[in-house]
Amino acid sequence: MTHRRRGLLITLEGGEGAGKTTAQQFIYDWLRAQGRSVTTTREPGGTPLAEGIRNILLDAKGEMAPATELLLMFAARAENIAKIIEPALGQGQDVLCDRFTDASRAYQGAGRELGLAAVDALADWVHPTLKPDLTLLLDVPVEIGMERVGKRGAALNRFELADTAFFERVRHGYLEQAMREPDRFVVIDATQSLNEVQTEIQSALEAVCGGEHCG
């Protein structure tokens, strides 16, 4: 009996304006050029229900307790995993996900100061065996990221309205997570030019695609 190869789960992380959306297209194109099938998704979001939860979470006029925010992130994640991520991986497709559980560790665990234990308990319950094969962390100082977001000209969402101290905690939360899991994370200095950022992303992709489950 032949077993279909499971795809790779690649996640993109970073603070506001780090360049994830810009990087996602580059990664998609690169993986496709290797002849790989790729599904893209984002969090919170990815399915109609999860996109509905996203709207509630991002509504600038909305207010919610930090615990509510964390639980809604995992409610959306449970949908995305069940409907998009697991089926695609099981069919041998790579999944490129714009943010995943590390965002909950950084934003809710560190930013909202709920702590890692609460996030890890939910992660253990919602996706006990699912872990990214590669996490690209686009790291940018808070003021540079906010400047980029400001230049975008779009209305700010509920997260983007937070104060600088919140974003500093988020950034440190991400960097601490990367230090804890150096085999999974690749930290990229996102203050570099787009070309330089893409060169580093490509090296990380080549490394993970050199593994036994790529080809």
| Interface segment toward ligand Z5A; rule CB under 6 A; list 11-19, 25-33, 82-90, 122-130 | 11-19
d(CA 153, CA 112): 26
Q: Which CB, 114 or 214, lies closer to ligand Z5A?
A: 114
| Interface segment toward ligand Z5A; rule CB under 6 A; list 124-132, 153-161, 179-187, 207-215 | 153-161
Q: Among all chains, which residue has been given the structure tokens 């600088």?
A: 164
* Residue 140 CB, nearest approach to ligand Z5A (Å): 8
Q: Which CB, 165 or 194, lies closer to ligand Z5A?
A: 194
Q: How distant is the alpha carbon of residue 137 from its chain centre?
A: 8
Q: Which CB, 116 or 149, lies closer to ligand Z5A?
A: 149
Based on the number of CB atoms within 10 Å of its own CB, is 176 exposed (0-12), middle (13-18) or buried (19 or more)?
A: middle
- At 3, is the secondary structure helix, strand, or coil? coil
Q: Does 99 bind ligand Z5A (CB under 6 A)?
A: yes
**12 closest CA partner among 27, 1, 2:** 27
Q: Does 94 bind ligand Z5A (CB under 6 A)?
A: no
